[in-house]
Structure 1
Amino acid sequence: MGTLTADCPRLDAHCPHKLATSCRLTSTWNCCACADERPHSRTYAVYIDGVGFVQRGTRWQSYCWFCKEFWNNRLACTYPSLETSQTKIPQIPDQSEFLQRWFEFHQGYRLARRSDETEQRIAVIGEPFGEVSPGFLPRTLDQLRSGRVNDHTRPENRFRRERIQEDNESEQVPHQTLEDALDSLLEEVSDEETGQRASEETSQLLERDATMPRQREPRGLSRPLSRSDRARQNITRLFGTREEINAPDYQSPISGMFSRAWDRFSQAEARRATGDTVAPPVDTLSPPERREIEQQIIWG
C-alpha cells in the first residue's frame, strides 16, 4: 500500500510528518511519532509468544501501519547507519531534508532562484504517490522507464544524517549488543559455578585424604596396569607375541577359524554328494569326536 495523502492539502496545523507518513490518526493534527509523549529509552518492551515481554522492541512498533512503515524505511535509508537504541523518533534521525524533497513532489514544483534574485518554479514530476511506500520518494519518469526498484538502496532515498554524541562514544568504546551482553553474563556465571564446584571438590578430596590412612604406593608386579598396557596384553593373548607372529609357520587365529569352517563345509558337501545324510552313531565316539560332529551338523 502506498502513500494515501497525495490529494490532501498541507495545513499549518499539521506536524511536519503528517502527510509524508499518511498517518491514520484522525483526531489529532500530529502523526503517531509527534503525538507520542513517552520518554525516550534505548529499549522498548515487546511481547513474544512463549517468551513473554522482552526488551527488543522499537518505539514505533505500535504506531499505525503507515507511520511504522515510514520510520522503518527512513531508518534503513539513513547513513551512516543508526542503531535502534540510538534513535529518538522523530528528532533522531532528522528528516528535514527528506520532508523538504517530499513536499516538492507533493506540490508538483520546487523553487529556484535566478541570477537576478527572482524565484522560478520548476516542475517536479514523479510516479503517483499511491504506488510509493511511506518513507520513500517517488521515482522519476526515467527511473520508471528503466525499471528502477524503489527501496532503501536508491540514492534519492538516502540522506546523510548529522553526527551525534553517541557516534563519538561508539568510536572509543566497542559497541556491545544485547545478545553479547547476555552471553558474557552467562559465561561469567558459568565460570563462577565451575570455579566454585572445583574448589568444593578439591576441599572434599583434601578432607577425605586427611581422614583416610596413607597407603603404600604399589610397586613391581602389584602396580596397576595402564590402558595401553592392558590393550597390549590383550593383543598378545589373541595373536601371540611379536616373535610368534614373525615366525614362518605362523597362522593367524582369524585365518585358522575360517580354515576350520571351510573344512567342515567341504566335508558336509561331500556327504551330500554321496547321499550319506544319516548321522553316524555317537555312542562309541569320544567327547572331542562327538563335539566335532555336532559342529559339522551345525555349520554344515
Structure 2
Amino acid sequence: MGTLTADCPRLDTHCPHKLATSCRLTSTPQCCACADERPHSRLYRVYIDGVGFVQRGTRWQSYCWFCKEFWNNRLAATDPPLEASQTQIPLIPDQTEFLERWFEFHQGYRTARASDGTQSRIAVIGEPLREVSPGFLPRTLAQLRAGRANDASRPENRTRQQRLTSEEERPEDTQQSIEDALDELLADASHDEEQQEQAGDMPLPLSPPLSRHELRIRQARNNIMRVFGSREDVQRDDYESPLSTIFNRAESRYQQAEERRANGDTAAPPTENMTARERREVEEQILWG
C-alpha cells in the first residue's frame, strides 16, 4: 500500500510526520506518534491469547496502520540498528533528515543555494509517492528501470543514527518471553492452589450480616436463577431458555390455528366431557385462530 497523502498540501498546522506517514487521524493535524501523550517506556504491555498481558509490545503497535508501518520501516532502516526498547518515538530515531528528503519528492523540487547567495530549484523526479510504502523514499527512474527493490536495505532509505551511550543502550528491563510468562502464570496458579488447601484446613470465619441493599441483590439473583437456571445450567449444551419455550409454544398454537383455518374448520369443538386443561387448550386455540 502506498502513501495516501501524496497529493495533499502541506499545512502549517501539520506535524512533521503527518503527510509522510499518511496518518489516518482526521480530527487532529498531528500524527499518531505526536498525538501520543503517554510517558515513554522501554516496554509496553500487549495481550497474547493463552498467556495474558506481557511486556513485549512497542509504543506504536496501536497506531493506525500507516503510522505503524512507517515506524516499523524507519526502525528497520536505522543505522546502527536500534531495539524497540531503545526508541523514543517520534524523537529517537530522529527522522529530520529523512523528512527533508521526503518533502523534496512531495513538492517536486529541491532548493539549491549558490556561493553568491542566489537560490535555484532543481526538479526531483522519481517513483510516484502513492506507490511508495510509508517510511521509504521513492526510487529514482534509473532504479525503477533496474528493478531495484524499495526496502530498508536501499541506501537512500538508510538513516544514520548517533550511537547511544552505554547508559542508554542498557535496557532497564529485559523483554519477557512467552515461556517466562507461562512459567510465571503456572507458578501463580500453583501458589493459589496451595493457599486454598491451607485455607480449607482452617475454620471459616463468621460472615457479617448482610445489609438491606445486599439482601435485595441476593433475592433478585435468586429469582433470576429460579426462572433461568444457574450459570452451570445456562452453559450446558442442551440448555433451553424459558423465553424460547414460551415463544415456541405460542408458535405451535399459531400453526395449529392456521391449519384449522386452511381446512375450513372454524367451528368451536364441543367442550363437554373435557377436563379443565383440555378446555383451556381449546380456548387458547380459538383465541389464536
Q: State TM-score, norm by structure 2.
A: 0.59
Which residue in 2 is equivalent to 1:129?
129
Which residue in 1 is equivalent to 2:31?
31
Which residue in 1 is equivalent to 2:4?
4
Which residue in 1 is equivalent to 2:199?
none
1:176/1:28 Cα in 2 relative to 1: closer, same or farther (>3 Å)? closer
Matching residue within 146, 167, 173 for 1:169: 167
Give, in whole Å, the separation in 2 of the partners of 1:124 and 1:132.
15
Which amino acid in structure 1 is aligned with residue 82 of structure 2? L
Which residue in 2 is equivalent to 1:152?
152
TM-aligned CA deviation for residue 169 of structure 1: 2.8
Matched, 1:69 2:60: no
Give, in whole Å, the separation in 2 of the partners of 1:109 and 1:171.
38
Which residue in 1 is equivalent to 2:41?
41
Could you tell me the percent identity over the aligned residues? 75
Cα offsets for 1:39-95 (capped at 9, x unmatched): 111111111111111110100000000000000000000011111111110011110
| Partner secondary structure for residue 42 of structure 2 | coil
**Any gaps of 5 or more consecutive residues in structure 1?**
190-300
Give, in whole Å, the separation in 1 of the partners of 2:24 and 2:38.
19
Aligned pairs for 1:221-240 within 5 A: none
**In 1, are the aligned partners of 2:66 and 2:134 still within 8 Å (CA)?**
yes
Matched, 1:99 2:95: no
Cα offsets for 1:274-297 (capped at 9, x unmatched): xxxxxxxxxxxxxxxxxxxxxxxx
Which amino acid in structure 1 is aligned with residue 167 of structure 2? E
Bigger relative contact order, structure 1 or 2, given CA contacts below 8 A and separation 6+?
Answer: 2
TM-aligned CA deviation for residue 130 of structure 1: 1.2
1:67/1:170 Cα in 2 relative to 1: closer, same or farther (>3 Å)? closer
Cα offsets for 1:203-259 (capped at 9, x unmatched): xxxxxxxxxxxxxxxxxxxxxxxxxxxxxxxxxxxxxxxxxxxxxxxxxxxxxxxxx
Which amino acid in structure 1 is aligned with residue 55 of structure 2? Q
Which amino acid in structure 2 is aligned with residue 82 of structure 1? L
Aligned pairs for 1:180-219 within 5 A: none
Which amino acid in structure 1 is aligned with residue 100 of structure 2? Q
Which amino acid in structure 2 is aligned with residue 169 of structure 1? E
Give, in whole Å, the separation in 2 of the partners of 1:91 and 1:117.
32
Give, in whole Å, the separation in 1 of the partners of 2:178 and 2:65.
31
Give, in whole Å, the separation in 1 of the partners of 2:99 and 2:108.
14
TM-aligned CA deviation for residue 172 of structure 1: 8.4
Which residue in 2 is equivalent to 1:242?
none
Aligned pairs for 1:215-294 within 5 A: none
Matched, 1:79 2:79: yes
| Partner secondary structure for residue 120 of structure 1 | strand
**In 1, are the aligned partners of 2:80 and 2:161 still within 8 Å (CA)?**
yes
| Partner secondary structure for residue 143 of structure 1 | helix
1:176/1:57 Cα in 2 relative to 1: closer, same or farther (>3 Å)? closer
TM-aligned CA deviation for residue 120 of structure 1: 1.0
1:135/1:171 Cα in 2 relative to 1: closer, same or farther (>3 Å)? closer
TM-aligned CA deviation for residue 163 of structure 1: 2.8
Which amino acid in structure 1 is aligned with residue 102 of structure 2? W
Calculate the aligned-residue CA RMSD, in Å.
2.6
1:89/1:141 Cα in 2 relative to 1: closer, same or farther (>3 Å)? same
Which amino acid in structure 2 is aligned with residue 80 of structure 1? P
| Partner secondary structure for residue 100 of structure 2 | helix
Aligned pairs for 1:7-18 within 5 A: 7-18=7-18
Q: How many residues align?
A: 184
Give, in whole Å, the separation in 1 of the partners of 2:154 and 2:138.
11
Q: State TM-score, norm by structure 1.
A: 0.57
Matched, 1:58 2:58: yes
Give, in whole Å, the separation in 2 of the partners of 1:181 and 1:164.
30
TM-aligned CA deviation for residue 176 of structure 1: 5.8
Give, in whole Å, the separation in 2 of the partners of 1:12 and 1:136.
23
| Partner secondary structure for residue 45 of structure 2 | strand
